[in-house]
Amino acid sequence: MIIDCHGHYTTTPPGVAAYREAQKEILKRDPDHVFEKGDVVVSDDEIRESILSNQLRLQRDRGTDLTIFSPRASWMGHHVGNASTSQAWTEQQNDLIKRVCTLFPENFVPVCQLPQSPETGIEASVRELERCVNGMGFIGCNLNPDPSGGFWKDARLGDRYWYPFYEKMVELDVPAMIHVSGACQHSLDTTSSYYLGADTTAFVHLMFSEVFVDFPKLKIIIPHGGGAVPYHWGRFRGIAQDKGLGDLDERVLGNIYFDTCVYHQKGIDLLLDVIPTENILFASEMIGAVRGVDPHSGHYYDDTKRYIDGNKRLDARERELIFSGNAMKVFSRLDVQRIRGDQA
Strand partners, 108: 67
Active-site pick, 21, 119, 171, 285? 285
State the DSSP string of 264-283. SHHHHHHHHHHS-GGGEE--
Rounded Cα distance between 304 and 318, Å, is 16
Q: Residue 285 catalytic?
A: yes
Residue 123 Ramachandran class (φ > 0 left, ψ -120 to 50 alpha, else beta): alpha
Cis omega before residue 122 (within 30°)? no
Q: Helix H segments across the chain?
A: 14-29, 44-52, 55-62, 83-103, 123-130, 136, 163-172, 195-207, 211-214, 233-242, 248-252, 265-274, 305-310, 316-320, 326-330, 336-343
From residue 59, give the alpha-carbon distance in Å to each of 295, 307, 322: 22, 16, 17
Residues known to be catalytic? 285
